Chain A
């Protein structure tokens, strides 16, 4: 089957491949591994936006590659593929990539790795995450002010600490302005599945919720709220284009500053395997414009944002009561400490649900 033209084409292709390889040699190659599609307009999309911003900021000094929709339980190979193809700094952006990242990192001690939302580090593995719960406190307050039915619907993904602490922060924020508020939770058991997420939102609306909050990645729950003429919050990115009348605000993950800083550190030779957990103050969490609400609610939300950013207000300031009304140990002095939040698997008082165990 191989005629001479094909052979020629193949030879040309090999030569071309080598040529581009040689040209890229003096650039720092960075790789990104995403759990979802870059088109989810949520979590993975925001990571990719961070990558693009980093690429723009550092220009010709870097090259970046991404792998999307990588299943967590089969990711070791994908990460290794990046390591084998000359990538010097590799970001793995989902919790389930933790063990695979560590395994590959052990095999390639000269390559730098960064793992998002995990807790295991190594000499060449840094970790980073964002304090999403700070944003959840703010949207809780807004929901507490804006609800008429006093019932909030919450579409949750998986009962991991990040999601549970998010629910708690939301509830604490809501209770701070509206002590009688109720939160109804539906576990969609997915990060990204517009159909399932929409079904969850519909069920919550049918149960009388007039505001939908979500900890899943697609815009579907927010769109359901818009369709029903109710309100909601976006997730991970500004989703107002999907629901201009419904989105009150959105908790935006902004990785661009972090990625730019880390890649720059790698270029300068100052990169270290650090652990970063930044929130509103570090601008890793940003609130989308407050919309569809009266001015006084807007002012309150802006004030809360500023207070959390400056450290004046901590969403988990003591005392934090559990469902039985017992105060949690105050390991951080005036508030819960990072470890307590990062490992949270209990609900605060007033939430009428059980953490799925």
Chain B
């Protein structure tokens, strides 16, 4: 007896949509059982977790703010992964982007450089620096891969630690707030160096609009452009792509540049929008979580948007559950794991027919 996975001949839209939806429902059911075993009401947990955060303006904003970096990074990663290029180091590109853009926020603190021309140029310049920094940092693994054939998986991952420690070093040293009692953090940015917010005191920042823009742009590129076709062809049929005259090397560099730029943009959006200063760590692991988001969204821009929002919702709902139901924080993490497993299993079930074959087939 053995189990065979046979690819399904055609892919139906019903399965494509039904599988993840079914997986979500199944994960919620499993989570409900765990909550019930903990002696809490599953129905109330469901309300607190998934419904209440979507009922109020402020928590909706929080979901969007949390999803923003995940979606931006994951959209970039989808270019790499579609082309069979494995950028695992988006976390590092995120940090470098935040650092490069944040540097401008630090040096323009207290009105510096804003005298005659005003501060209108600072935020656009920060965003540009962030994207540029991320893209350049992504060039290291890309060029090593193209020139020397070094595995980009290893180099991009290792560069994460270098980026994190570099930020840590600068925040403790050159970029430290001189009036901050030696604590490792920079000055807080002037308003001119903060992304525009929905309204005074609100948390929804312009980075969310950039994330939506990135989703739309990526969807267009994948569906309509020659470059999008090239990415897919090189990923799925590298030999055919070579015959067609597409260059592996050029594409590797291009997809790394795109994903690095988007990760860097996410980094500076987080620094300029959410945090408002440079601190020793600016990411609770967005660059890694975004890998999950990219795959949950099946590398499609709109899927990624949805996956990013669902994952963000589990964070917000998880905190609400801690407050309202006194559920432990570990429950949130466990639930995220359950959700991922369910989606991956449903994915396999949607793509393949599962058959039990008797006897020892060759």
The residues of A with any CB-CB pair to B shorter than 8 Å are 1, 6, 9-10, 12-14, 16-17, 31, 37, 65-69, 71-74, 76-78, 80-82, 84-85, 95-96, 99, 103, 106-107, 119, 158-161, 189, 339, 342-345, 356-357
B41 interface hit (Cβ, 8 Å): yes
Distance A162 CA – B112 CA, assembled complex (angstroms): 32
B230 interface hit (Cβ, 8 Å): no
Measured CB to CB, the closest approach of chain B to A115, in angstroms, equals: 13
Decide: A119 near B281, CB < 8 A? Known: A68-B322, A77-B65, A77-B66.
no
Q: Is the CB of B43 within 8 A of A10?
A: yes
Which A residues are CB-close (under 8 A) to B66? 74, 77
Decide: A9 near B183, CB < 8 A? Known: A37-B329, A68-B329, A85-B324.
no
Which B residues are CB-close (under 8 A) to A77? 62, 65-66, 203, 316, 319
CB < 8 Å: which of A37, A72, A78 contacts B319? A78
Distance A275 CA – B151 CA, assembled complex (angstroms): 54
Which A residues are CB-close (under 8 A) to B328? 68
Q: Is the CB of A345 within 8 A of B279?
A: no
Which A residues are CB-close (under 8 A) to B280? 158
Nearest CB in chain A to that of B320: its residue: A81
Which A residues are CB-close (under 8 A) to B284? 71, 73-74
Q: Is the CB of A16 within 8 A of B323?
A: no
Distance A106 CA – B200 CA, assembled complex (angstroms): 11
Measured CB to CB, the closest approach of chain B to A61, in angstroms, equals: 19
Measured CB to CB, the closest approach of chain B to A32, in angstroms, equals: 11
- Which 6 residue pairs across A and B have the least CB separation, nearest first? A71-B284, A343-B181, A13-B43, A9-B43, A13-B44, A345-B182
Which A residues are CB-close (under 8 A) to B274? 74, 76
CB < 8 Å: which of B173, B182, B283, B320 contacts A73? B283
Distance A71 CA – B284 CA, assembled complex (angstroms): 6
Q: Is the CB of A161 within 8 A of B183?
A: yes
Which B residues are CB-close (under 8 A) to A357? 172-173
Which A residues are CB-close (under 8 A) to B65? 77
Q: Is the CB of B181 within 8 A of A13?
A: no
Which A residues are CB-close (under 8 A) to B322? 65-68
Decide: A160 near B183, CB < 8 A? Known: A65-B326, A71-B284, A82-B323.
yes
Can you list 22 residue pairs at the A/B interface with Cβ under 8 Å?
Answer: A1-B25, A13-B43, A13-B44, A16-B41, A17-B44, A66-B322, A67-B323, A67-B329, A71-B281, A71-B284, A72-B279, A73-B275, A76-B274, A77-B65, A80-B58, A81-B319, A82-B323, A85-B324, A103-B276, A160-B182, A343-B181, A344-B182
Distance A74 CA – B59 CA, assembled complex (angstroms): 15
Distance A245 CA – B320 CA, assembled complex (angstroms): 42
Distance A189 CA – B324 CA, assembled complex (angstroms): 34
Q: Is the CB of B201 within 8 A of A160?
A: no
Decide: A161 near B47, CB < 8 A? Known: A67-B322, A72-B281, A99-B276.
no
Which A residues are CB-close (under 8 A) to B283? 73
Per DSSP, are chain A's interface residues mostly helix, strand or loop, or mixed? helix
Measured CB to CB, the closest approach of chain A to B184, in angstroms, equals: 6
Q: Is the CB of A13 within 8 A of B201?
A: no
Distance A343 CA – B177 CA, assembled complex (angstroms): 12
Q: Is the CB of A161 within 8 A of B182?
A: yes
Measured CB to CB, the closest approach of chain B to A354, in angstroms, equals: 12
Distance A10 CA – B181 CA, assembled complex (angstroms): 52
B352 interface hit (Cβ, 8 Å): no
Distance A107 CA – B328 CA, assembled complex (angstroms): 28
B336 interface hit (Cβ, 8 Å): no
B222 interface hit (Cβ, 8 Å): no
Which B residues are CB-close (under 8 A) to A9? 43
Interface residue ranges of B177-208 to A (CB < 8 Å): 181-185, 188, 201, 203
Measured CB to CB, the closest approach of chain A to B60, in angstroms, equals: 12
B46 interface hit (Cβ, 8 Å): yes
B156 interface hit (Cβ, 8 Å): no
Chain B 271-296: CB-based contact to A (< 8 A → 1; otherwise 0): 00011110111111000000000000
Measured CB to CB, the closest approach of chain A to B153, in angstroms, equals: 23
Among A84, A159, A342, the most chain B Cβ lie within 10 Å of the Cβ of A84
Decide: A69 near B183, CB < 8 A? Known: A76-B203, A77-B319, A85-B323.
no
Q: Is the CB of B324 within 8 A of A17?
A: yes
Nearest CB in chain A to that of B65: its residue: A77
CB < 8 Å: which of B44, B47, B184, B201 contacts A158? B184
Q: Is the CB of A99 within 8 A of B43?
A: no
Q: Is the CB of B44 within 8 A of A73?
A: no
Among B188, B323, B326, the most chain A Cβ lie within 10 Å of the Cβ of B323
Interface residue ranges of B297-354 to A (CB < 8 Å): 316, 319-320, 322-324, 326, 328-330
Measured CB to CB, the closest approach of chain A to B315, in angstroms, equals: 9
Nearest CB in chain B to that of A12: its residue: B43
Q: Is the CB of A14 within 8 A of B47?
A: yes
Distance A68 CA – B168 CA, assembled complex (angstroms): 24
Nearest CB in chain A to that of B277: its residue: A99
Decide: A81 near B323, CB < 8 A? Known: A71-B284, A356-B172.
yes
Q: Is the CB of A343 within 8 A of B182?
A: yes
Q: Is the CB of B188 within 8 A of A67?
A: no
Interface residue ranges of B114-152 to A (CB < 8 Å): none
